[in-house]
Amino acid sequence: MTFFSSLFAILFISRFLENSLLSAEVKEGEILPPTIQKLMKGYNKYLRPFFDNGPVTVGMSLDIASIDTISEINMDYTATIFLRQRWTDERLVFEGNKSLSLDGRLVELLWVPDTFIVDSKKSFLHDITVENRLIRIFPNGTVLYALRITTTVACNMDLTKYPMDKQTCTLQLESWGYNVNDVMFYWARGNDSVSGLDTLRLAQYTIEDHYTSESEAVYETGNYPKLIFHFELKRSILYFILETYVPSSLLVVLSWVSFWISQSSVPARICIGVTTVLTMTTLMMGARTSLPNANCFIKAIDVYLGICFSFIFGALIEYAVAHFCTLNHPDCNNLLMYGHHMHECEEEMNGIVTTIASNSSRLKRRKDSPALAPTHAADGEPGLAPSSPTTSEPKTAEAPAELFSRCAKNISALRKILRSINCCHVENPHYIDNYSRLTFPLSFIIVNLLYWTYYLYF
């Protein structure tokens, strides 16, 4: 008994649904005007136009309503666009000279291209107050189909020159299921097919150039039509100059104030050095919050912040070196005594050289004088004659000459060593601050010229 009751209930429900569908079809036919009823008679929306007579050509045009966000972290942009597609359907030709504007919901009765956005991460069709779709049929069978879409599209960015970079993003349209043998895409008016960019205002970018191109997407399942819209974005650097470059440069200048503070004021100079280093570190961390956390880019802003940090840290190291030299030279009297001592050493060495030179010249004169003749005494006996100069005198003359040459060589070498040591020696630690007052600003200016020249013109 239960089985028969269940079977009866199923038959009753199926009969009721069939009657409801039939009544819906009748009502749908009643609300359509005669022209549309005539067009829809025998129309199959599952078959494309010119099914047996070659591909159907679809013309595209875009109107960029807005580009809301451009994210370097996600490497994408979000835009709201009006996508318009035109094609000819020979089954929709009718007599007359006026086009038919239909309700967007009637698009379900027609064949439409299966266009999709290639690099879209997420998209949606606006539906307030109704779905933002337009369908218009012309007497020659041309169909205009327009949509209002907001889409988030991926854009590969090269952030090497950030924030002086230029990015080229694309919007690619393809057919999902129809290959080039079934559907052909083309831009309706070439580069003028995309409008709305002239009046577009972005927060950090300006649109420098845009153009369109046509291509084919090659997949394993075949070749599919593709339309590409390219637009070039140039970042506005004024925000980053005020936010990052000027504060970091002022911190570098602030670190130079310690060069004009006395070296005995240890707390003041240490406080300036450590404060500027910590502030620069905080500024470097804040500049990276709006960028990808894990990337392989060495950005231009990182290079500049690294340069500023190096100069600030160098100013702190400069004081450490100057203070160390001050500890080794506590007063200027020792510096003067050291200078007098070096002068006395040079004079003493010059005296030694002069003495050796005079002795050598005296020996040479003695060697060149003629030998004394033999003498006799008054009683006729021969007297004592001086010893022959050929025995001992040449030896004594040669020895001082060799000694002089050796001493001269050793003294000249010692003099060179002392001069090199004297050059490396800091006679007055206050000279370090004096040199730093000139070398640090001059080096920073030169590095800035090289930095801005490279990143702006290369």
Among 218, 235, 252, the domain boundary falls at 235
Q: Which residue has the tokens 């069978």?
A: 141
Whichever domain contains 213, its CATH number is 2.70.170.10
Domain shared by 229 and 267, yes or no: no
Number of folded domains in the chain?
2
pLDDT of residue 398: 52
Helix H or strand E encompassing 82: strand 76-88
Do 97 and 129 fall within a single domain? yes
Q: What pLDDT sits at residue 368?
A: 57
Residue 229 pLDDT exceeds 70: yes
Position 411 scores a pLDDT of 72
**H or E element at residue 211:** strand 205-219
Q: Which of 235, 266, 294 is the last residue of a domain?
A: 235
- When pLDDT is averaged across residues 384-399 and rounded to a whole number, the result is 48
One domain, residues 200 and 258? no
Residue 87: partners with Cβ closer than 8 Å, 6 or more residues away:
49, 56, 57, 58, 59, 113, 142, 143
Looking at residue 252, its pLDDT comes to: 96
Look at residue 353 and tell me if it is in a domain: no
**Confidence label for 85 from pLDDT (cuts 50, 70 and 90):** very high
pLDDT tens-place string over residues 347-387: 665 665 566 556 656 655 655 555 444 444 444 444 444 44
Mean pLDDT score, 218-228: 95
The answer to whether residues 285 and 200 belong to one domain is no
- Helices of type H across 297-429: 300-328, 332-368, 393-424
pLDDT at 401: 60
Query: How far, in whole angstroms, is CA 301 from its chain's centroid?
Result: 7
Q: What mean pLDDT is reported for the chain?
A: 81
Count CB neighbours of 210 within 10 A: 17
Residue 5 lies in a domain: no
pLDDT at 86 over 80: yes
pLDDT value, residue 260: 92
pLDDT of residue 367: 55
In a domain? residue 75 = yes
- Please state the rounded mean pLDDT for residues 187-212: 92
- Between 90 and 386, name the one with better pLDDT: 90
Q: How confident is the model at residue 431 (pLDDT cuts 50, 70, 90)?
A: confident
Between CA 247 and CA 448 the distance in angstroms is 15
Average pLDDT estimate for 145-162: 94
Residue 345 is predicted with a pLDDT of 57
Averaged pLDDT, 394-411: 62
Separation CA 193–CA 61 (nearest Å): 5
Task: Give a yes or no: residue 161 inside a domain.
Answer: yes
How is residue 153 written in tokens? Answer: 């599209």
- Tens digits of residue pLDDT in 231-258: 999 999 999 999 999 999 999 999 999 9
Residue with tokens 């494309």: 48
Q: Are strands 56-71 and 183-187 parallel, antiparallel or unpaired?
A: parallel
Q: Which residue has the higher pLDDT, 409 or 337?
A: 409
CB-side exposure of 295: number of CA atoms within 13 Å? 19
Report d(CA 229, CA 95) in Å as an integer: 37
Based on the fold, state whether residues 228 and 280 are members of the same structural domain.
Answer: no
Contact call for residues 165 and 298 (beta carbons, < 8 A): no
Q: Are residues 53 and 169 in the same domain?
A: yes
Radius of gyration of the chain, Cα coordinates, nearest whole angstrom: 48
Q: Residue 276's domain spans which residues?
A: 239-329+452-457
Higher-pLDDT residue of 29 and 234 is 234
Give yes or no: residues 191 and 174 share one domain: yes
Do 65 and 86 lie in one domain? The reply is yes
Q: Are 193 and 84 in contact (CB under 8 A)?
A: no
Same domain, 81 and 230: yes
Looking at residue 22, its pLDDT comes to: 37
**Quick one: which of 168, 143, 149, 150 has its CA closest to 158?**
168
Q: Judge whether residue 342 has pLDDT over 90.
A: no
Look at residue 206 and tell me whether its pLDDT is greater than 90: yes
CATH number at residue 288: 1.20.58.390
Lowest mean pLDDT segment, chosen from 14-18, 100-104, 183-187, 411-415: 14-18
- pLDDT band of 80, cuts 50, 70, 90: very high
255 and 311 share one domain: yes
Is residue 86, in this structure, part of any structural domain at all? yes
- Taking 80 as the threshold, does the pLDDT of residue 191 lie above it? yes
- The residue among 235, 267, 298 that closes a domain is 235
> Does residue 95 lie within any of the structural domains?
yes
Q: Which residue has the higher pLDDT, 429 or 392?
A: 429
Q: pTM value?
A: 0.70
For residue 369, the model assigns a pLDDT of: 56
For the chain, give the percent of residues with pLDDT over 70: 71
Is residue 219 located within the same domain as residue 280?
A: no
Domain membership of residue 392 (yes or no) is: no
Q: Are 104 and 204 found together in one domain?
A: yes
In a domain, 334, yes or no: no
